[in-house]
Amino acid sequence: MTEKNSRRFTVNRIMQYVGRYRISAVLSLIFALLNVAAGLYVPILIGRAIDCIIQGGTDYKKMSLIILKAVISMIVSSLSLWLMNEVNNRLTFSIVRDMRNEAFLKIHALPFDYLDPHPSGDILSRITADVDQLADGLLMGFTQLFTGVVTILITLCFMFAMNPFITLIVVFVTPLSLFVARFISGHTYDMFSVQSGIRGEQTGLIDEMIGNLKTVKAFSYEDKAVSRFDEINTRLEGASRKALFYSSLTNPGTRFVNSIVYAMVALFGAMSVLSGGMSVGILTSFLSYANQYTKPFNEISGVLTELQNALACAGRVFEFMDEKEETGDAVNGDGKYPKGNVKCSEVDFSYDKKASLIENLNIDVKKGEHVAIVGPTGCGKTTIINLLMRFYDVDSGSITVDGTDIRDMTRHDLRSSYGMVLQDTWLRYGTIRDNLKMGRDISDEDMIRAAKEVHSHSFIRRLKDGYDTVIGEDGGSLSQGQKQLLCITRVMLSLPPMLILDEATSSIDTRTELKIQDAFLKMMEGRTSFIVAHRLSTIRNADHILVMKAGKIIEQGSHEQLLEMKGFYYELYNSQFA
């Protein structure tokens, strides 16, 4: 899509949002007409007052009537301006509200293959900063563009009625300012697009550094983080200065052209007065109209510059909103938990379609079996979990649960059938009680019993407010081990038919891990379990162990069987206990 077509497409999309509020747009236009018409009637009255004084002395009755009309006109102009601004504010922020709502809903509809590689800060920048820039541009457009165009049209009508010859001179010269404004604004669109992109990159870096501040400090990454920020900030400074410099040339250029117009009107108008073609009062009104006529061109040129920035930002927002959504969900779900028979048949999958990862994966897990998945980093262990939960869809082959392809199940039914404890913890701002119950109807007795089984009750009890202690985002000041214990406790409160334990005890000390082994065994009893572990001592009792390498299962069997093979698993196991 070319730049011109891209801008046209963006404008059309914005107009679709405006079309939802046609009544407000029409009211804004009506109030703009009233504001301009009433304001432009005042110079005529002033001209009449001047002619009244020059030609026949002071006629107080006539002057009083003129002053009364002028006061009424100014009141009407001011009132309609206030109403127009009120309508424009409501119109603009209704459009912005709709866009933000749709963009936020879009986040929930996007697949993980979009969210994973894109920095969250860049997405945040599109929904907040870019939409704010669009709001500023729309507000200027509705307020100044409407009134500017209407002012030009009505002023031309009044000027033609007074002196067609001088009006034609104005009409032929003034468009030069529009050509100047169009030329400059046309070249600033790309500059503002670059500026918005770099601003999103900067927001992404800031979000990443704040979200991982402990890691940054632990690895003394502060200097490198500052260097990265300085580099991005320098590029943003250069892009912003370039865009603003070129866009700021618009106003001086149009003002120069408008000054020429005003001087020509004054010159030809004075010659017309001397020759008797018009009165001094009419010349005064004409000069006022010439000023009123050229003024909107300055405002419109400023609006065009701001609109280029707004369109560039809107383009980024629409680009995000047009991203391909998750594949459709099954129409109906029975809401019943499956028994737990899981089968992968000839599954192929890769994140990057140019590089293969999992090829021809075949797994057949019966209800209640405990399956361990081991292998070196990057071999595809967590990827299998992502496929089982349908965070990603397989490229080919199928995954079935109790004989039903998971693509024929609703995501809610599928995911509610799994209990997950991952290396990464899922905790949100709120009390510990809220994080454990997660809005479910669970009694405090059941919650405390589960906490005792997992051995999290002891540290919770030592907190200031116990289960009512408020923790920050991602667990706040709790240790990683404590956060992981809370996540294990949460799963103990639901106990679905299938479990996924991905390094579930990676952050827990060995002594506590030994204590909760009984709780894990009880939790997994009769439930299909998938266990991903690097510490091979934790999976000795698994019914089946899958050994993966480069996306393929190279060995499988029980712990004893794999040791007897003296293959890759044998080497992996002995490397930990040598």
Cα 500 to Cα 531: distance, rounded to the nearest angstrom: 6
With the C-alpha atoms ordered 529, 534, 535, 536, is the resulting torsion angle positive or negative? positive
Dihedral (Cα; 210, 213, 216, 220), 10-degree rounding: 120
Structure tokens, 575: 């490397």
Number of helices (H), then strands (E), in the chain: 22, 12
Q: What is the mean pLDDT of residues 123-147?
A: 81
DSSP state of 75: H
Structure tokens, 535: 């510490």
Cα 283 to Cα 285: distance, rounded to the nearest angstrom: 5
Indicate the pLDDT class of residue 402, thresholds 50, 70 and 90: confident
Element spanning 363, H or E: strand 358-365
Least confident span in 206-210, 284-288, 481-485, 561-565 = 284-288
Please tell me if the domain spanning 95-321 has the same topology as the one spanning 342-577: no
Say if residue 70's pLDDT is above 50.
yes
Q: pTM of the full predicted structure?
A: 0.64
Contacts of 220 (CB under 8 A, 6+ apart): none
Cα 519 to Cα 504: distance, rounded to the nearest angstrom: 13
- The residue with greater pLDDT, 60 or 490, is 490
Work out the angle between the directed axes of helices 280-321 and 22-56 (0-180°, nearest 10): 170
pLDDT the model gives residue 185: 65
Task: List, in sequence order, every residue forming a beta bridge with 527; answer none if it has no partner.
Answer: none
pLDDT the model gives residue 471: 87
Q: What is the mean pLDDT of residues 406-419?
A: 85
Residue % of the chain over a pLDDT of 90:
1
Least confident span in 50-64, 257-271, 353-367 = 50-64
**What's the order of all strands across the beta sheet hosting 498-502?**
418-421, 498-502, 528-532, 370-374, 544-549, 552-557
Write the pLDDT tens digit of every residue in 479-535.
877 888 888 888 888 778 888 888 766 666 677 667 667 667 777 788 888 888 766
Gyration radius (Cα) of the chain, Å: 36
Say if residue 2's pLDDT is above 50.
no
Three-state helix/strand/coil letters over 412-428: HHHHCCEEEECCCCCCC
Write the pLDDT tens digit of every residue in 372-397.
888 887 787 888 888 888 888 888 89
Cα 272 to Cα 370: distance, rounded to the nearest angstrom: 101
Say if residue 122's pLDDT is above 60.
yes
Helix/strand/coil for 31 = helix
Q: What is the mean pLDDT of residues 53-58?
A: 64
**Which amino acid, one-letter code, is at 394?**
V
Write the pLDDT tens digit of every residue in 322-343.
888 777 666 665 556 677 888 8
Average pLDDT, the chain: 80
Determine contact, residues 474/427, Cβ cutoff 8 Å: yes
Say if residue 137's pLDDT is above 50.
yes
Write the pLDDT tens digit of every residue in 82-105.
998 898 888 888 888 888 898 888
Say if residue 462's pLDDT is above 80.
yes
Going from N- to C-terminal start, the domains of the chain cover 95-321, 342-577
DSSP string, 388-457: HTTSS--SEEEEEETTEEGGGS-HHHHHTTEEEE-SS----SEEHHHHHHTT----HHHHHHHHHHHT-H
Rounded to an integer, what is the distance from CA 147 to the centroid of its chain? Answer: 32
Cα 381 to Cα 357: distance, rounded to the nearest angstrom: 11
Least confident span in 103-107, 184-188, 359-363, 373-377 = 184-188
Cα 111 to Cα 552: distance, rounded to the nearest angstrom: 25
CATH superfamily of 95-321: ABC transporter type 1, transmembrane domain (1.20.1560.10)
Dihedral (Cα; 92, 97, 100, 103), 10-degree rounding: -100
Task: List, in sequence order, every residue forming a beta bridge with 404; answer none if it has no partner.
Answer: 401
Looking at 275-334, list the stretches that DSSP marks H as alpha helix, in order from N- to C-terminal side.
280-321
Determine contact, residues 289/159, Cβ cutoff 8 Å: yes
pLDDT the model gives residue 71: 87
Cα 269 to Cα 136: distance, rounded to the nearest angstrom: 40
555 — phi, psi (to 5°)? -145, 150
Indicate the pLDDT class of residue 177, thresholds 50, 70 and 90: low
User: Which residue is it, tokens 């009006």?
Assistant: 167
pLDDT the model gives residue 270: 76
Nearest to 159 by CA among 44, 295, 297, 29: 44
**Which amino acid, one-letter code, is at 188?**
T
Q: What is the mean pLDDT of residues 407-429?
A: 82
pLDDT the model gives residue 79: 92
Say if residue 554's pLDDT is above 80.
yes
Detail the DSSP E strand segments found in 451-532.
Answer: 470-471, 498-502, 528-532
Cα 98 to Cα 14: distance, rounded to the nearest angstrom: 11
pLDDT the model gives residue 55: 65
Topology classification of domain 342-577: Rossmann fold (3.40.50)
Buried b (16+ CB within 10 A) or exposed e, 216-242: beeeeeeeebeebeeebeebbeebbee
Write the pLDDT tens digit of every residue in 257-282.
777 777 777 777 777 777 766 667 77
Neighbours of 383 (CB within 10 A): 20
**Which amino acid, one-letter code, is at 315?**
G
pLDDT the model gives residue 577: 62
Determine contact, residues 572/379, Cβ cutoff 8 Å: no
